[in-house]
Structure 1
């Protein structure tokens, strides 16, 4: 990554036009070819940028001032899609080898919820016990296959945010599972739709299809937050 701190003027021309008057800014040139112009404010968003694929050419104006020309090479974009950066004074110009980034690892995503609920299935319904995680079916794995206190099979679909698509997914699993005599010997396989947040439309659809809903308290499952100690 190349990071340049400079007093600069930026002009974009293409699908629209935009102008940034002369001021001190940070210019980032990433290994993927993207160029971003930041100010010392405005949150995380750049003031202007050019997404890859694009080419950067360093040149000079007729009066000798340093000028960068960034041109988009993406298909479907016009030849005039250009970012011009006029550098009046460069305060800093440095390059850094960052290496391969492992990517963002989110806390509280579905796989973490699944692991916690597999250890504590009774938080979803009294007497619920785990049979298997990632229970295989012909159309994909069910997050948790459990048994209730009476021994009947219960399929659990887990989402961070429960929406209609998740209910539809669980419905397809249940239709398939209920054709398996090994699972239905003690009655139909029922479903539980579990999420940290369940949208009202998803709850209505789940209830209409006989699927129970369970809102998961992630911090309580992790032992960080004790529900009984809350004031409200």
Structure 2
């Protein structure tokens, strides 16, 4: 992983346009080729990013950029969509590379891990015609619990929690924003699945077009709990 702290401006060029004016930011180049632009706020969400497959080229600044103090320009272009990040660097404050080795992967809470496995095995719980694409579908900002297809063949990202709260909806929103940039997947809809979903989280999910599903752990395991019920 390469970490560069620099004074830079950033332009996203593609299906949409976005501009970050000159400021001090962290540029992160990961081993998978993804490039992320971070500020010192906004939690862990990058201000902008480019996911693999992409290529980074260092080019000389244009005449007007050089006149404004730019020393080098990074052009990060996605091989599939052609979208590009143009990062105009004025000053490098830090530049280091680190070998993080092979990551063992995310170890989830036992119940959430079991829910994910069971829901993947019984993906039809989400609706007739649903089919599993894969568990732990990796993105530049972390793995989506389940990526599947609905009865119409559209992709669906599923975030699974034991207790469904606002943070979980925000997490799924970020995944959806990223996944919908990939023309091979878009349009991607979302399902927020939990054993218990707080009212505030359900309201936020509904407002963002995310479907909420309450999971019954025993039902997914195929356990008949009638013996423990009075009626």
Question: Structure 1 length normalisation: TM-score?
Answer: 0.49
Question: Structure 2 length normalisation: TM-score?
Answer: 0.50
Please tell me whether Structure 1 or Structure 2 has the larger radius of gyration of its CA atoms. Answer: 1
